[in-house]
Chains A and B, each alone.
Chain A
Amino acid sequence: MTGTSSIPGVHTEPSSTTRAATGLLLYLLAGLYFGVVLVKSEAASWYRIQEMFRFESFHMFGLMGSAVFTGMVTTMLLRRSGLKSRDGQTIRVTDKEKGWRRYVFGGLTFGMGWGLAGVCPGPIFVLLGAGVWPILVVLAFALLGTYLYGVLKDKLPH
């Protein structure tokens, strides 16, 4: 984590290179899957997001509720089954950092942005694929916002 650890490729062994490439391809396919679902379920639709934040339809609530329920049950089953991950490791879930300040303040800030242009990070990428070029403005400023957090991090309550 300290400044100088940026030399790439040091740990890669030749034998694992192919496996790593296949792995990366699988993540691309997983992203493709998720992107398709985001559009087909209309979670990437500005209209649906507005409807949700105005409590005018059940659609998004049903969507998120059933997503969380499914994720919860299948993750539990996966862990209970004792199945190893593709690379042979025990399935484990990384715990989020404790605390509440960052989640409240950061969450509010992100929520404000989400409700305004109706895009969260997933849909930003999906919309680019769909050819909605003005979303590049959102992306550029989202990168700027991320950079600003990196600059101000130590001055903010966490």
Chain B
Amino acid sequence: MTELLDLLRSPWPWYVGGPLIGLTVPLLLWLGNKGFGISANLRHACAILLPDSAKPSFFRYDWRKERWNLMFAGGLVLGGLLTGLIFANPDPARLSAAGVQSVQELGMQVRPGLVPAELTDLSNPGVWLLLAFSGLLVGFGTRYGGGCTSGHAITGLSTLQGPSLIATVSFFVGGILSANLLLPLFMAVIR
């Protein structure tokens, strides 16, 4: 019994997880010719939430036709509940030595869980600022760039889309810049 629990809780190596992520692309094509992407849900949510009188034309479309995507996002929440809460990995992610050192240099500890406690401590106003700024960039950038990691880096590259290669390279340049420069700066100020 405990062995089964251990198995359910333990993380998978990349060569198991990666192919399983990749299979989502043909799965959604087969389910209904859907291009797999998650950030579009943020657009649908805006289309649902905004009153008609205050709606920019970008949000005037029949979001009901995109309900499948909202259901997919609902499934993600359930998946997180199942594997991130009920069968959560009791051990910290097995980072490389360099990774552990970097996290510590940022003033954080490597603990079990998906996000460090230091970044979810809402009693620290700086954390609010970091989360808000990050969210703003993610929401604006994904719509401007027409997709996120799932839409461009996974689906787009899998289906040989040139624009997705440009987008994915740009994601990485942005991410490298902010993880190496912006985040240390933020942490130095809010710690």
Using a CB–CB distance below 8 Å, which chain A residues touch chain B? 1-3, 5-6, 8-9, 23-54, 56-60, 62-72, 74-75, 77-78, 83, 85-87, 89, 91-100, 102-135, 137-151, 153, 156
Contacts and interface: CB of A to CB of B under 8 A. Distances in A.
Contacts of A50: 99, 102-103, 179, 183
B90 interface: no
Contact of A63 (B14, B71, B82, B133): B14
A126 B80 contact: yes
B77 A128 contact: yes
B175 A100 contact: no
B116 A106 contact: no
A63 B31 contact: no
Contacts of B57: 1, 3
Contacts of A48: 93, 95
B2 interface: no
Interface of B: 11-12, 14-35, 38-39, 41-43, 45-46, 49-50, 52, 56-62, 64, 67-69, 71-85, 88, 92-93, 95-96, 98-99, 102-103, 110, 113-116, 119-122, 127-128, 130-150, 152-164, 166-180, 182-183, 186
A148 B78 CA distance: 29
B14 A41 contact: yes
9 contacts: A2-B60, A37-B17, A58-B14, A72-B160, A75-B25, A107-B169, A110-B148, A111-B170, A121-B138
Q: Which residue among A33, A48, A67, A69 has the maximum number of chain B CB atoms within 10 Å of its CB?
A: A67
Contacts of B167: 103, 106-107
A66 B116 CA distance: 27
A117 B135 contact: yes
Contact of B140 (A96, A133, A135, A146): A146
Nearest to B132: A141
A23 B60 contact: no
A108 B141 CA distance: 7
B76 A68 contact: no
A32 B65 CA distance: 20
Contact of B139 (A53, A105, A142, A156): A142
Given A89-B33, A143-B46, A66 B102 contact: no
Contacts of A94: 35
Given A85-B31, A126-B84, A75 B18 contact: no
Given A6-B62, A144-B139, A149-B140, A103 B166 contact: yes
Nearest to A70: B22
Contacts of A119: 115, 134, 138
B164 A96 contact: yes
Given A89-B33, A96-B163, A35 B18 contact: no
Closest 10 pairs between A and B when the two form their complex, measured CB to CB = A35-B79, A31-B75, A111-B174, A41-B17, A106-B145, A145-B139, A107-B170, A129-B80, A130-B84, A110-B141
B22 A145 contact: no
A68 B154 contact: yes
Contacts of B183: 50, 115-116
Given A32-B79, A62-B14, A137-B131, A105 B114 contact: no
Given A56-B102, A91-B33, A145-B139, A47 B116 contact: yes
